[in-house]
Structure 1
Amino acid sequence: MIGALPGTLGEFAVVQVGYRLVGLALLSGGIAALSAFLFRWRTGNQLPDGAALLLGLGSVAVYLNGRIALVQFLGGSERILDPVVVGVNLVTLVVSAITAIAGWQLGDSYGSSKRLQYSLNPRISPLVRATGRFIVVELPEDIADIDGYDPVAPAVKADLAGKSYTFSRGLTIEELQAALSTKLQKEHAIGQVDAEVTVEGEVTFLAVGDREAGIGPTLPPSATATAITADPALTASPGDTVQIWQGERRIGTAELRAAAGSTATVSARRSVIDSLDPDTRYRLMTLPVDERADRLFASMLRQADETMSSFTVTEGATLDGEQIGRLGLTVVAVEQTDGTTETIPQRGREIEAGEKLFVIGNPGQLRRVEAAATGTGTYEPPAADDPEPEPRRTLRFWRRRR
């Protein structure tokens, strides 16, 4: 391989070996970096370290084996099993392995770069076409209600039907949808707007919903609320856990929602509420603080633009066999076909037909998820503002054991 006398290395041969070593090391690192970059860019996942190492060293091995075969075919004077040749080949493989790992990490880092992904595969919403200086948007006559939200008054929907709005040109579809939603929310005091706008500026779908203050959406499943005549403690406040007593008999445990004079609003299981008599005066005993994560989650979710909904995936639908992470939304739980519930599923978990997904998102996102869960239409996940990068792995034999 070296082209020097057996067992020795001349000055010229040393230079040749150095150039060859650097070249093969760069070849191994370049192949591993290119493979890791393309794999991360096209799939969004990290190329396994073993595959990157195999590709990098494989390119070096192809060169070495090809050169040995060529030397044997031409009948050169170089001794293949010369100790110096074998030693240089081993050093070449070791250095190439190190550069392959370095190239793997470098290529994966560039492949996961948000700026590079945007320049190579930008997700740009097309501009809405305008015939003049403005974009005229006309609302449809049929305006739907958003599931999970209080309906908007019929008079407001009648006022919106067929109404036209003017926006400045140069807006993308997403910007026009956001501007239309903001205008409707401010001018008509609408809580939530779900609109679909085409590139021609036509509104193909419009749904509105309201979020009036109420106790119903904050109640956990199987719970109800009622007002009773009682004497809560002076220091009791909404959210406290109380026991309801009638004389010496304890009726049950409830949660105090409001109190005004001798009237208290409590929420509890339906069986407890059904046993209460509106004409009876009760005594409330405040219990130690008991955090209610379900009520806290519901109240916080109610104040946000997002809400939670559930969908059952049909066989052959777009989401059948898709990974949870591809939705681009928060999936808090998956009810499996055997009735068990898996909370906070992994992003790489595949969705199976018959499973029920509990998803958090705004009405427009949830509507698209429902369409993909029950049909075969295409699904585009929402663009994340700042997605968390997938943690990169290192070689197993480099990990520190604890």
Structure 2
Amino acid sequence: MSLPPLGSLDTLSASPVDPLALLQSGVTFEQPTTAAVNLVVFAVLSVLTAGGLTVAYRWYFKSLIPEGIAILAGVAVVALYINTASLGVVVGQGSVDLFRPGVVFFNVVALGVSTVAAPVGRRIGDTIASQLFSLVGLGEIDAEVSTMVRSVGRVTSVRLPSEIEDMESYDPVTEETKAELASKTLVFPRRLTVEELRSRLVSRLKEDYGVGYVDVDLTAEGGVDYLAVGSRAAGVGATIAPGTVAVAIRADPPNNATSGDQVQVWSTAEPTERLTSGEIRGVAGDVVTLAVDEADAGLLSPTERYRLLTMPAEPQADREFATLLRSVDETMGTVTVEANSMLVGETADTVAAAVLAIRPSGEKLTALPESARQFESGDTIYVLARPDVLRQLEGWATTPAPVSDDEADAEPTEQAEPDSGAPVDLDDSE
């Protein structure tokens, strides 16, 4: 029996489907198996890319990567692979038909599959990063606590409630963020006090989920009784005082002018004239955003060009206070004391808040009252406190004070006393 020629052996050996050929470009849906394998590989590649980038972003920036960036990365990797495979075919075969309708349709579907798969990888990567970094101490836990967790090998799991409330007087957090937090279990080091656990939980929610404010109540066992979140006010509007507006004008800003500088606005036409004064809130090229009195806003035109004169720096306690207040957990709030409530008779020393002012009912406001000044019915108290402390004060201001034993004993006796003066047996159980 004669052996087949060498070329025949090569032909026989190449007849089975080459696994690498399944992943090259030029695939169409006329080959269902090949198309299915390619789509699965592209989806996995997009998930891995988006997940890996999410983990790296969480580690470096301590926040969740924007969904658009994760999708762009997943699609870019798949597109790069398709282009690379096409280039390999061109080099090996000399030509490749990438513009056949079937090939174009498959490539569009492949990019669509990678677009859908990328958010899945983002969510998986964020879950892995949040749990992993909390245990190894990368940004979420201090080094000494991380060492304790690794040595003891035990952690505390905190499960968030299924319903996340919105904080009053704060901008709401997006529904997507609240849905992501609902019923989520977070891992923390063991042997933490309730206050330490609360502080770490608040920091975790702010850093990992972009939450601006957190109002949470924890039980003695570390469970979450109540959770409300809010977002920080952003932009210029949150710092504009009443009676003031922000306008953008074209001007040549003074050298090194920055936000907070006081300037005078002068016209450039002859004769020059000072139009108004304001405060710089932003500079972008030759466009300057100024905070000016609302009555002077009509003097400025968006088409004219102006000259700015920088004024000497003056301390602005209100701006400094507003800036500091936006960066801390405490917030301003008012509490009205109702009659016979638990706050009646209390003083600023007995509440866990800074009492800034008190306005008695129908009277003028008293700023920075004495610490021994007792709260009275009808008082409006201006306090600086954490949201949970402020919510607690609001509850005390509306909750009736408990009745003492002497008052409780005297009240039924007085009510039971008949008008006739006849003796009454209060104990008629027999």
TM range (shorter): 0.5 to 0.7
Instruction: Evaluate the alpha carbon distance shift between residue 253 and residue 337 of structure 1 in structure 2; reply closer, same or farther with a 3 A threshold.
Output: farther
User: Judging changes above 3 Å, is the alpha-carbon distance between structure 1 residues 229 and 176 closer, same or farther for their aligned structure 2 residues?
Assistant: same
Q: CA deviation at 1:166?
A: 3.9
Relative distance call for 1:163 and 1:360 in structure 2 (3 A) is: same
Match of 2:199 in 1: 178
| Identity value in percent | 39
8 Å CA contact retained: 1:197, 1:204: yes
The 3-state SS of whatever aligns with 2:282 is strand
| Contact 2:261 2:313 survives alignment (8 Å) | yes
Counterpart in the other structure of 2:328: 304
- One-letter code of the match for 2:359? E
Shift of residue 136 of structure 1?
3.9
1:342 aligns with 2:366: yes
For the 8 Å contact 1:220–1:295, the answer to whether it is kept is: no
Aligned twin of 1:352? 376
Structure 2 letter corresponding to 1:190 = V
**1:2-43 per-position Cα deviation (integer Å, ceiling 9, x unaligned):** xxxxxxxxxxxxxxxxxxxxxxxxxxxxxxxxxxxxxxxxxx
CA distance in structure 1 between the aligned counterparts of 2:320 and 2:289, rounded to whole angstroms? 18
Of residues 263, 281, 285, the one that matches 1:261 is 285
CA distance in 1, matches of 2:274, 2:262: 14
What is the CA–CA distance in structure 2 between the aligned matches of 1:309 and 1:277, rounded to whole Å? 39
* Superposition pairs of residues 231-380 of structure 1, within 5 angstroms: 231-246=252-267, 248-273=272-297, 276-338=300-362, 340-376=364-400
Rounded to whole Å, the distance in 2 between the matches of 1:135 and 1:296 is 39
Matched, 1:155 2:176: yes
Higher relative contact order (CA 8 A, sep 6+): 1
TM-score (norm 1): 0.54
How many correspondences in the alignment? Answer: 246
Aligned amino acid, residue 159 of structure 1: E
Cα distance, 1:178 vs structure 2 = 2.5
SS class of match (2:334): strand
What secondary structure does 1:348 align onto?
A: coil
2:296 is paired with a residue whose SS is helix
Aligned: 1:195 with 2:216: yes
Q: Indicate how the Cα distance of structure 1 residues 206 and 353 shifts in structure 2: closer, same or farther if over 3 A, else same.
A: same
**CA distance 1:168–1:304, change in 2 (3 Å):** closer
Aligned to 1:142: 163
* Residue 344 (structure 1) shift: 1.4
- Distance in 2 between the 1:167 and 1:232 partners? 50
Q: Distance in 1 between matches of 2:264 and 2:216?
A: 47
Structure 2 unaligned blocks of 5 or more: 1-153, 403-430
Indicate conservation of the 8 Å contact 1:333/1:358, yes or no. Answer: yes
Q: Report deviation, 1:177.
A: 2.2
* Paired residue secondary structure (1:271): coil
1:332 Cα offset (Å): 1.9
Cα 1:348–1:145 shift into 2, 3 Å: same
- Superposition RMSD in Å: 2.8
SS state at 1:285 partner: strand
Offset of residue 282 of structure 1 = 3.2
Secondary structure of the 1:278 match is coil
Change (3 A) 1:166 1:232: closer
**Distance in structure 2 (CA, Å) of the matches to 1:373 and 1:274:** 46
TM-score, normalization by structure 2: 0.51
Aligned amino acid, residue 284 of structure 2: A
What is the identity, as a one-letter code, of the residue corresponding to 2:287? T
Q: Equivalent residue for 2:88?
A: none
Between the aligned partners of 1:313 and 1:191, the Cα distance in structure 2 is 29
Q: Return closer, same or farther for 1:345/1:275 CA change in 2, 3 Å cut-off.
A: farther
Aligned mate of 2:240, from 212, 219, 232: 219
Displacement of 1:295: 0.4
Question: Quick check: 1:217–1:298 contact (8 Å CA) kept in 2?
Answer: no
Paired residue secondary structure (2:343):
coil
**Segments ≥4 residues shifted beyond 6 Å:** none
Instruction: Answer yes or no: is the 8 Å Cα contact 2:340–2:400 preserved in 1.
Output: yes
Secondary structure of the corresponding residue to residue 264 of structure 1: strand
Distance 1:202 1:361 in 2: 23
Partners of 2:256 and 2:187 in 1: how far apart? Answer: 54
Q: Secondary structure at the match of 1:156?
A: helix
List per-residue Cα deviations over 1:108-135 (Å, max 9, x = no partner): xxxxxxxxxxxxxxxxxxxxxxxxx765
What do the CA deviations read for 1:304-326 (whole angstroms, capped 9, x no partner)? 22222223333333223321222
* Contact 2:352-2:389 at 8 Å conserved across structures: no
Conserved? CA contact 2:338–2:378, under 8 Å? yes
User: Could you tell me which amino acid in structure 1 is paired with residue 179 of structure 2?
Assistant: A
Query: How do residues 6-25 of structure 1 correspond to structure 2 at under 5 angstroms?
Result: none
Residues 273 and 324 of structure 1: CA distance in aligned 2, closer, same or farther (over 3 Å): farther
Distance 1:355 1:318 in 2: 13
Whole-Å separation in 2 of the counterparts to 1:355 and 1:302: 27
CA deviation digits over 1:171-220, x for unaligned, max 9?
44333322322332333232332211223544221012233653333333
The change in CA–CA distance for 1:237 and 1:187 in structure 2 (over 3 A counts) is: closer
1:20 aligns with none
